Amino acid sequence: MLQLAANLTMLFNEHDVIARFGAARAAGFGAVEFLFPYEHDVDAIEAALTEHDLKLVLFNFPAGNFAAGERGLANDPSRVEEFRQGVTMTVELAERLGTPALNCLVGRELPGVPLDEQRRTMIENLRFAADQAARRGVRVCVEPLNTIETPGFMLGTAREALALIDEAGHDNLWLQFDVYHEQRMAGNVTATFRELAGRIAHIQVADSPERHQPGSGELNYHYIFDAIAESDYRGWVGLEFVPNPDTASALQQMRETGLLRL
Closest CA to 239 of 195, 212, 196, 204: 204
Q: What is the DSSP letter of 154?
A: S
CA distance 99 to 208: 28
Count of beta carbons in the 10 Å neighbourhood of residue 229? 11
CA distance 29 to 175: 24
**Burial, 237: exposed, middle or buried (Cβ in 10 Å; 0-12, 13-18, 19+)?**
buried
Going from the C-alpha of 108 to that of each of 15, 42, 70, 249, the distances in angstroms are: 31, 28, 7, 35
Q: Which residue of the set 51, 143, 160, 218 is catalytic?
A: 143
Going from the C-alpha of 169 to that of each of 12, 130, 162, the distances in angstroms are: 38, 10, 10
Closest CA to 128 of 72, 168, 76: 168
240 included as an active-site residue: yes
Which active-site residues does the annotation give?
143, 240
